[in-house]
Structure 1
Amino acid sequence: MSALTFLNLFRRFCVMYSFPRTVISDNGSNFVAGAKVFKEMLDHTNVSEYMTGNSITCKFIGPRAPWMGGFYERMISLTKSCLKKVLYKKKVTREELEIILREVQTRLNNRPLTYLNKEGPVESLTPNHLLYGRTINPYPLVVTLDTSDPDFLGHTELIARHSCLSSIINHFERIWKKDYLTSLREKHYGSSKPMQMKPPKVGEMVIVERLGPQHEWPLGRIV
């Protein structure tokens, strides 16, 4: 990815989500070059007037220290591994791949970060709450045909491709749900010494697994 490509993608991001106050990244040459362009852009008279109060600060993690970006690298790694398992040798167009990535984005950003209220009904705070003020209901997955063969088109190409996309996203959701919950357990137990590990206790919040999409799983309090 060139610095120009990065800036174009960042511009698209700003159109969708508004300007961020802080950008945190590794030391990729395209990001560093992008930061220099940001500074020059902000120094321009017209831009600086428009950007008053919305200045962007670029922060770079230490060189050769990927663990400093663990809070986003973990999600990127998990998403990539699940996509590789799901897509494998399936043939998808660029447009279909973009749809799959958007569906994945919505489902990942519906994951609970923490709970909001201590009394009464428990509501989870998700990344989509921070972006849109609410959780996003994904498009329903309708798998009507057997699309195990990547070249299978069924009676009509439209129905077959729609079903194939639903099958891919549904498969991703199953794999990601399993791998994500496993990673949470590894993080919880891996960061503690054996003598410090404590079983769940009364009053703690938990994710309640049940049939249906992961974003519909409720939070519960152990009583």
Structure 2
Amino acid sequence: MGNLPAERLEPCRAFKKCGVDFAGPITIKTSLRKKAAVTKGYICVFVCFSTRAVHIELVSDLTSDAFLNALKRFIGRRGVCSDIYSDNATNFVGANKKLSELKCLFQSATHLDKMYNALATEGINWHFIPPRSPHFGGLWEASVKSIKTHLYRVLGESHLTYEELNTILIKIEAVLNSRPLTPLSSDPMDATPLTPAHFLIGEPTCSVPEPDLSSVPDNRLKRWQRVTRLTQCLWKRWNDEYLSQLQTRKKWLSNKGPNLSVGTLVLIKEDNITPLSWSLGRVVRVQAGADGVVRVATVLSRGKEVKRSVRKLCPLPFEGNV
């Protein structure tokens, strides 16, 4: 695998440098009436280069104006970017031209106050990847694929209102920003992981306790409960996929699975985990087979020791002890 680009290795605050892409279309109901008209909506995804945090905006169309409004909402909540990377879609190219025109206008108008001048000099450097080279945007393409694949599977033929779909997208954003990246400390008794949310709000994301509605038929649920049910179904699909990816990465070097060691912080594969909840633990003992490869590990999780096969344990993406 090649080295990371220099822009992903420079220390900076979250979303100072990011990639952006669109996904869709998604059908949206214009109201709650039974035969209400439907329209199309799109998902705009911003991915931070340094923290891999995700920000999602719901937009009405693929025009430059719609993207500029999404960009303004993004900047209002995440701060001004110094660099944005994208593909060569026409809405991004048009938005870049309008931003340049707007910046020149602000700088040439002498009657504007210092605040407008400060905004103009801040500037945003826009970078376009080469045409027909989606692998250059692998960072944000992976996030878009993860969101799009499971969202389409869960929604199926369901038509949600703008408010309902926006609620689900923000829940998806919270789920993606809750994924553990690396241990927060080297203390063997501390199983707290570092997540993208730590760079955004200073602590892990959490969710309001909700009953499990994943197996309840749609005709027994109210509209807001359907949104909760869709979120829970999407969490289960994405959680299973994410844990599987953590294990397959180790097969780049060996086909024998992860060779865990004492002190490694791991994710434990469990059934019926609620959204934004992760079962973590520290390896305290390992049991190797005749070939010297670890097959079973004892993990300290939530104050008690549990024994699990290594197939049920997933080292964190940036765990240095494995």
User: Which amino acid is the alignment partner of residue 55 of structure 1?
Assistant: G
Asked if the contact 2:103–2:120 (Cα under 8 Å) also holds between the matched residues in 1, the reply is: no
8 Å CA contact 1:22, 1:58 repeated in 2: yes
1:126 aligns with 2:190: no
- Cα gap change, 1:4/1:213 in structure 2, threshold over 3 Å: closer, same or farther? same
Question: Looking at CA atoms only, which structure, 1 or 2, has the larger radius of gyration?
Answer: 2
Q: After TM superposition, where is structure 1 displaced by more than 4 Å over at least 4 residues in a row?
A: 143-147, 193-198
Alignment correspondent of 2:175: 107
Q: CA deviation at 1:146?
A: 7.2
SS at match of 1:58: strand
1:148 matched residue in structure 2: 217
Judging changes above 3 Å, is the alpha-carbon distance between structure 1 residues 204 and 18 closer, same or farther for their aligned structure 2 residues? same
Q: Give 1:171 shift.
A: 0.8
Distance between the aligned counterparts of 2:138 and 2:213, measured in 1?
39
Q: How do 1:83-102 and structure 2 match up within 5 A?
A: 83-102=151-170
Q: 1:64 to 1:143 in 2, by over 3 A?
A: same
Matches within 5 A, 1:22-171: 22-43=83-104, 44-45=106-107, 46=112, 49-51=117-119, 54-119=122-187, 121-143=190-212, 148-149=217-218, 152=219, 154=220, 160-171=222-233
Q: TM-score, normalised by structure 1?
A: 0.82
> Shift of residue 110 of structure 1?
0.7
Q: Deviations over 1:48-102 (max 9, x none)?
A: 6222774322222222111111122112112111111111122322211111111
- Distance in 1 between the 2:163 and 2:153 partners? 20
Does 2:290 match 1:222?
no
Q: 1:136-215 maps to which residues of 2 (within 5 A)?
A: 136-143=205-212, 148-149=217-218, 152=219, 154=220, 160-189=222-251, 192-194=252-254, 199-210=259-270, 212-213=273-274, 215=276
TM-superposed deviation, 1:11: 0.7
For residues 49 and 124 of structure 1, what CA distance do their matches in structure 2 show? 41
- Are the equivalent residues in 1 in contact too, given 2:178–2:204 (CA < 8 A)? yes
Which 5+ residue runs of structure 2 have no aligned equivalent?
Answer: 1-61, 285-322
**What is the number of residues matched between the two proteins?**
214
Q: SS state of the match for residue 259, structure 2?
A: coil
3-state SS of 2:163 partner: helix
Give me the whole-angstrom Cα distance separating, in 1, the residues matched to 2:222 and 2:142: 34
Q: Does structure 1 conserve the Cα–Cα contact (< 8 Å) formed by 2:181 and 2:194? A: yes
Aligned residues with identical type, % of pairs? 28
Q: Name the aligned partner's letter for residue 157 of structure 2.
A: K
**RMSD, aligned CA:** 2.8
Structure 1 pair 64–144 and aligned structure 2 pair: CA distance change class (3 A): closer
Aligned to 1:137, the other structure's residue is in SS state coil
Gaps of 5+ in 1: none
- The structure where strand makes up a greater share of residues is 2
TM-score, normalised via structure 2 length: 0.59
